[in-house]
């Protein structure tokens, strides 16, 4: 059952060859330009809107969605979709307010923005910190969860899965952002098609189990009928999963901080749009926003389906761990293993596409920050364009090797995905405060920004662990609420420090920010209104 058959390997091989040869074709076609840092790191001016949108989604979706979010669908229900649907709204905000500032000021990396807006000290501290987080948290977690998922489906050992994923990702990444951007179009097509195949199987299983044969529509109606508790987007305080998704905080609180930081201040996300003109960048981001609406269909619905079937006595053994405990993260692999030969290969290719595309995106951003913000600035100021590109390629290899060696250590964690979400969220309030006030308030000083950067982790840690240290005397705030509290504290602190600094008027400020930059064409406005309308309807229906 946990093995790929000849037809599956054939489908996967076709996928691999298409990605490899198409990537090689793109690389050869623009080989003369790849020696340019802007072309290698940003694919300047060459990515179309659909390539940007596809690459944004491909870089974002990985094993934590197919495995972790599907498992959360099994446990929490549709409410976990708020991460995707609120991200859809967030992308519109980023397209209107963030991207124009970056493009107008020719910002290529997030540390570069901090250097230009504040000073090199703030920039370097955050560059080093981002590199550590990207390598030891993001890259490592994707390799670990991806290797685990593929091993559980294919029967190949975890170690070989890690090696294979690493080599595949390096192959894609070494061609630069142009190759990543265009191969991501294939990756997104494959992961959506493979995901829809698994959802189709899940809903048909529901219909067959209740005696209606293979009937997709009937399967969906049965899902709504048999698991009404799993179709609520907003939890009240009595819900056992309230701490994961604390009520209205997902609409007006910490979810915005989480998403704005991820989509607006994150190198491996914004990098896809930084080499384009404003119209193309906005169109690409809007396309990504539409694709985000679809993600819960391919990852959350299968998890809810598995919950209903498991409650009715099916897949008891498959959903248990070695200790006899229900393991929600086994929901998606269990479904994939039920697919017939050939279709299982497509679903397997979809999972691999999501993992490899995400790995390539992270690795390229790591090489960009290291090469442009660390190596050129402090190690070799006279480095040529060709030398920096070569440095970037070696950085990709080194980062991937380090992450692959560290990845097995995550096996000691009970819930790797939740652990990563929680602790990466320690930095989100501080980073977002620095960027937002840096964009829109000229008085913000470098000292205030530096203080915010240094305090975001200690403040988050205090709020997380104080309830334990005080034996419950201090309130145990949900994760998203902690982010809101830390964000507000840091914003107030930045404002007070900036206003009290007599030299703030002489603060380094060379950013061009003009309200005319935020005007959008009618086509973008229409697309945004449609997305907001869909989101409003979804939250009203499934409140």
In the predicted structure, residue 414 carries a pLDDT above the cut 60: no
Structure tokens at 500: 């009290």
**Residue 516, pLDDT score:** 83
Could you give the CA distance from residue 524 to residue 188 in angstroms, rounded to a whole number? 22
Query: DSSP H helical segments within 318-445, as ranges?
Result: 331-336, 343-369, 385-406, 416-424, 428-440
In the predicted structure, residue 64 carries a pLDDT above the cut 80: no
Among candidates 352, 336, 291, which has minimal Cα distance to 15? 352
Options 3.30.70.1450, 1.20.1730.10, 2.30.30.60, 3.40.605.10; CATH of 6-22+49-424+513-541: 1.20.1730.10
Structure tokens at 95: 């397209």
In the predicted structure, residue 416 carries a pLDDT above the cut 60: no
Structure tokens at 313: 């006595």
- Give the three-class secondary structure for 157: coil
Digit-coded pLDDT (tens) for 369-406: 888 888 888 887 777 778 888 888 888 899 999 988 98
Going from N- to C-terminal start, the domains of the chain cover: 6-22+49-424+513-541, 425-512
Digit-coded pLDDT (tens) for 198-226: 888 888 888 888 888 888 888 888 888 88
Among candidates 48, 271, 261, which has minimal Cα distance to 173? 271
Choose from 42-51, 357-366, 491-500 the range with maximum mean pLDDT: 491-500
Half-sphere exposure at residue 270, Cβ-oriented, CA atoms within 13 angstroms:
31
pTM score of the predicted model? 0.85
**Residue 140, pLDDT score:** 87
- For the residues 511-533, what does the mean pLDDT come to? 89
**Residue 487, pLDDT score:** 95
Specify whether the CB–CB gap between 289 and 52 falls below 8 A.
no
pLDDT-based confidence at residue 413 (cuts at 50, 70, 90)? low
Half-sphere exposure at residue 97, Cβ-oriented, CA atoms within 13 angstroms:
16
In the predicted structure, residue 486 carries a pLDDT above the cut 90: yes
**Residue 338, pLDDT score:** 80
Choose from 36-50, 256-270, 501-515 the range with maximum mean pLDDT: 256-270
Query: Distances in Å between the alpha carbon of 100 and those of 86, 345, 503?
Result: 21, 41, 28
pLDDT-based confidence at residue 508 (cuts at 50, 70, 90)? low
pLDDT-based confidence at residue 38 (cuts at 50, 70, 90)? low
- Give the three-class secondary structure for 524: helix
Please state which of the ranges 236-245, 285-294, 409-418, 509-518 shows the lowest mean pLDDT: 409-418
What percentage of the chain reaches a pLDDT higher than 90? 16
Digit-coded pLDDT (tens) for 331-361: 888 888 787 888 888 888 887 877 887 888 7
**Residue 92, pLDDT score:** 95
Task: Give kind and range of the element (H or E) at residue 451.
Answer: helix 446-469
**Residue 46, pLDDT score:** 61
Instruction: Give one DSSP letter per residue of 32-99, joined into a string.
Output: GGTTSHHHHHH-TTT--HHHHHHHHHHHH--HIIIIIIHHHHHHT-GGGGHHHHHHHHHHHHIIIIIH
Among candidates 525, 490, 121, 84, which has minimal Cα distance to 293? 84
Specify whether the CB–CB gap between 110 and 126 falls below 8 A.
yes
Digit-coded pLDDT (tens) for 4-26: 788 888 888 888 888 778 777 77
**CA R_g for the chain:** 23
Specify whether the CB–CB gap between 308 and 227 falls below 8 A.
yes
pLDDT-based confidence at residue 41 (cuts at 50, 70, 90)? low
Q: What's the whole-number average pLDDT of the chain? A: 83
Could you give the CA distance from residue 304 to residue 74 in angstroms, rounded to a whole number? 5
Query: Distances in Å between the alpha carbon of 155 and those of 49, 158, 160, 530?
Result: 38, 9, 10, 44
Structure tokens at 423: 């602790």
Among candidates 325, 360, 304, which has minimal Cα distance to 184? 360
**Residue 418, pLDDT score:** 61
**Residue 504, pLDDT score:** 57
- For the residues 238-246, what does the mean pLDDT come to? 83
**Residue 39, pLDDT score:** 57
Determine the angle formed by the axes of helices 343-369 and 120-133, rounding to 10 degrees: 150
**Residue 270, pLDDT score:** 75
In the predicted structure, residue 268 carries a pLDDT above the cut 90: no
What percentage of the chain reaches a pLDDT higher than 70? 90
Specify whether the CB–CB gap between 441 and 491 falls below 8 A.
no
**Residue 510, pLDDT score:** 64
């Amino acid at each position: 059952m946990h093995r790929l058959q000849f037809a599956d390997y054939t489908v996967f091989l076709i996928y691999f060859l298409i990605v490899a040869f198409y990537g090689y074709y793109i690389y050869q076609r623009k080989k003369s330009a790849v020696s340019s840092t802007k072309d290698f790191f940003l694919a300047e001016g060459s990515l179309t809107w659909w390539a940007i949108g596809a690459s944004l989604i491909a870089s974002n979706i990985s094993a934590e969605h197919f495995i972790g979010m599907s498992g959360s669908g099994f446990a929490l229900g549709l409410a976990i979709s708020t991460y995707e649907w609120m991200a859809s709204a967030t992308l519109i905000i980023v397209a209107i307010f963030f991207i124009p500032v970056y493009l107008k000021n020719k910002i290529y990396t997030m540390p570069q923005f901090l250097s230009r807006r504040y000073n090199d000290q703030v920039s370097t501290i955050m560059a080093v910190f981002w590199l550590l987080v990207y390598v030891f948290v993001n890259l490592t977690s994707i390799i670990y969860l991806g290797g685990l998922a593929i091993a559980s489906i294919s029967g190949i050992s975890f170690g070989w899965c890690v090696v294979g994923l690493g080599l595949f990702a390096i192959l894609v990444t070494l061609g630069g952002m142009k190759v990543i951007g265009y191969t991501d179009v294939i990756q997104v097509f494959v992961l959506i098609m493979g995901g829809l195949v698994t959802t189709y199987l899940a809903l048909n299983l529901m219909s067959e189990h209740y005696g209606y044969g293979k009937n997709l529509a009937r399967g969906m109606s049965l899902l709504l009928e048999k698991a009404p508790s799993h179709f609520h987007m907003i939890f009240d305080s009595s819900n056992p999963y309230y701490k994961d998704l604390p009520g209205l905080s997902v609409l007006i609180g910490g979810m915005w901080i989480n998403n704005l930081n991820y989509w607006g201040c994150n190198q491996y996300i914004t990098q896809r749009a930084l080499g384009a003109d404003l119209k193309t960048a906005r169109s690409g981001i809007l396309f990504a926003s539409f694709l985000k609406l679809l993600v819960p269909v391919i990852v959350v619905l299968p998890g809810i389906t598995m919950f209903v079937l498991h409650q009715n006595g099916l897949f008891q053994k498959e959903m248990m761990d070695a200790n006899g405990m229900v393991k929600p993260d086994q929901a998606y692999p269990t479904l994939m293993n039920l697919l017939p030969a050939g279709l299982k290969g497509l679903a397997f290719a979809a999972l691999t596409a999501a993992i490899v595309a995400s790995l390539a995106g992270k690795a390229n951003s790591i090489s960009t920050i290291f090469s442009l913000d660390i190596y050129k600035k402090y190690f070799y100021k006279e480095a040529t364009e060709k030398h920096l590109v070569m440095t970037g390629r070696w950085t990709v290899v080194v980062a991937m090797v380090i992450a692959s060696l560290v990845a097995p250590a995550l096996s000691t964690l009970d819930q790797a995905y939740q652990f990563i979400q929680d602790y990466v969220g320690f930095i989100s309030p501080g980073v977002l405060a620095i960027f937002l006030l840096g964009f829109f308030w000229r008085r913000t000083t470098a000292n205030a920004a530096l203080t915010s950067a240094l305090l975001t982790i200690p403040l988050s840690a205090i709020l997380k662990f104080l309830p334990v240290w005080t034996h419950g005397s201090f309130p145990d705030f949900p994760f998203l609420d902690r982010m809101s509290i830390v964000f507000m504290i840091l914003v107030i602190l930045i404002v007070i420090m900036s206003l009290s600094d007599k030299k703030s008027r002489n603060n380094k400020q060379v950013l061009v920010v003009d309200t005319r930059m935020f005007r959008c064409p009618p086509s973008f406005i229409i697309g945004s209104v449609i997305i907001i309308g869909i989101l409003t309807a979804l939250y009203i229906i499934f409140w």
